[in-house]
Amino acid sequence: MSSESQHPATEPESDEPEHNAGAPQGPWCAVPGAEGTRARPDGLAVPGEPAPAEEPAHGDDSAHGEDSGAPGEHGEEGRRYADAAMPITPPTHRVERSIRAKTGAKVVAGIDEVGRGAWAGPVTVCAAVTGLRRPPEGLTDSKLLTVKRRTELAEALHGWVSAHALGHASSEEIDELGMTAALRLAALRALEALPVRPDAVILDGKHDYLGMPWQVRTVIKGDQSCVSVAAASVLAKVRRDALMAELGADHSDFCFADNAGYPSPVHKTALQAFGPTPYHRMSWAFMDALPRWQHLKRTRALPDEETPPAEQMGFF
């Protein structure tokens, strides 16, 4: 897995053991696309039972395989979906305008990732260039949207953004490099796939996993406050969800189409019964709870804190 790029014509700016391969999805899988949420009239997600499996909030690195992404098991997850029932302030171009004014940057890309806390599948990063045009109505952090609204927004964004590209780091690369370096690799792949090189980058969260030579501004909850990052959030989430459904076609017991590789109860039960698929992150701590499959656990070759420079990853 590497990168994907799409760039429509720029619009004028305005001032504003054996798996059950091939078997049909069993009744134990949630209805595809439902993700356990109710929908508000504006398309935002409302807490439901069970809560959907989503990526954890940014913070400590998840590469050690803690249950940070497990649905409905942690206070942070519950708070996120409680927040979804509150009025949402639309993202603005404030940060993008500030960067342009202070640095002279003409092309600013927003970057967001998805899949950080999943137990299976790649981590996916989207880089989106939006200019200062008015965004599609309802744009916000993808985690606050229903599947239906998120899919509709992604379709609209494909024709609205000036350019966007996606980069992936596979589960094997995550095992080899650790999550921080894998995030950087995926982000570099996305940036390299853009048709234009950004003068500056806005990263969602507080950690700059990209580093030199990029000019980076980190913004906590940037996927809610910055238009370009919110656009990247939606595009990355929808693409990775579709990719996980494809990867799960031959591993239907895991219901990847429903949980996107996050540790849902169905996913955990399948791991105990069938062991990890080729798409699981074999170096993560969840493998310690699978005594039958301990022989498959991998040791990470590179400690998480050792992030290779870009030139060692084949860039620049």
Q: What is the pLDDT of residue 23?
A: 35
Nearest to 44 by CA among 136, 143, 118: 143
Residue 316 located in a structural domain: no
Inter-residue contact 12 to 160 (CB < 8 Å)? no
The CA distances from residue 131 to 105, 108, 160, 179, in Å, are 11, 7, 10, 30
Residue 211 located in a structural domain: yes
SS (H, E, C) the chain: CCEEEECCCCCCCCCCCCCCCCCCCCCCCCCCCCCCCEECCCCEEECCCCCCCCCCCCCCCCCCCCHHHCCCCCHHHHHHHHHCCCCCCCCECHHHHHHHHHHCCCCEEEEEEECCCCCECCEEEEEEECCCCCCCCCCCCHHHECHHHHHHHHHHHHHHCCEEEEEEECHHHHHHHCHHHHHHHHHHHHHHHCCCCCCEEEEECCCCCCCCCCCEEEECCHHHHEHHHHHHHHHHHHHHHHHHHHHHHHCHHHCHHHHCCCCCHHHHHHHHHHCCCCCECCCCHHHHHCHHHHHHCCCCCCCCCCCCCHHHHCCC
User: How many domains, the chain?
Assistant: 1
Residue 207 located in a structural domain: yes
CATH of the domain at 47: 3.30.420.10
Q: What is the pLDDT of residue 206?
A: 93
Inter-residue contact 296 to 284 (CB < 8 Å)? no
For the chain, the C-alpha Rg in angstroms (whole number) is 19
Residue 11 located in a structural domain: no
Residue 235 located in a structural domain: yes
Q: Supply the range of the domain harboring residue 90.
A: 1-6+37-55+64-306
Residue 18 located in a structural domain: no
Residue 14 located in a structural domain: no
CA count, 13 A, side-chain hemisphere, 294: 4
Q: What is the pLDDT of residue 304?
A: 57
Residue ranges for the chain with pLDDT beneath 50? 9-28, 30-40, 46-84, 307-316
Residue 213 preceded by cis peptide, ω within 30: yes
Measured CA to CA, the distance from residue 302 to residue 267 in angstroms comes to 28
Residue 234 located in a structural domain: yes
Measured CA to CA, the distance from residue 90 to residue 235 in angstroms comes to 17
